[in-house]
Amino acid sequence: MTLDEVPKIQVHFEVVIPGTILPERATSNRAFYDIYSAESVDILPGDVVKVRTGLKMQCPSGYFIEIRPRSSIATKYKVIIPNSPAVIDSDYGEEVLVPMLNLSKAIYHIDKHNRIAQMNVVRYNDIEWSYKKITGTSGFGST
């Protein structure tokens, strides 16, 4: 599949902090778009801070925005997104905030316009529940 064949999903946005950077891909072949901080903030060791993106974003019904951590932040600085992957449903109408948890012993500083997470739009399925006795012998950790 070429890049021209990848479907485009329209995401509406509203800027709530002037100077906010829209999510963007570093290269055209990246699956996820980088999300930028709209503020400078320090995250103390052991703390969770909801980092402002300065954006309200809304995708079409039948889709959701998935937010994931950037691997470099987690591996280099031990700062993670505790509810990862995070979900922004199509009916969410507030500013997108990215909760970040500092697992290190040092203060983690984020400058305004730093890349803090990554996102894409994902289609979801409507589930039809059907009762059936479930059998099997393998459990958690069996493979």
User: For 97-103, what is the mean pLDDT?
Assistant: 98
Is the pLDDT reported for residue 122 higher than 70?
Answer: yes
Percent of the chain at pLDDT above 70? 98
How does pLDDT run across 29-77, given as a tens digit for each residue? Answer: 899 999 999 999 999 999 999 999 999 999 999 999 999 999 999 999 9
pTM: predicted TM-score of the whole model, two decimal places? 0.88
Q: Please give the Cα distance from 87 to 65 (Å, whole number).
A: 6
Sheet holding 33-36, edge to edge: 33-36, 115-123, 63-69, 86-89
Query: Which pLDDT score, from 0 to 100, does residue 1 have?
Result: 64
Query: Which pLDDT score, from 0 to 100, does residue 143 have?
Result: 67
Amino acid in the structure at residue 135: T
Sheet holding 79-80, edge to edge: 12-15, 48-58, 95-102, 79-80
Q: Please give the Cα distance from 112 to 116 (Å, whole number).
A: 10
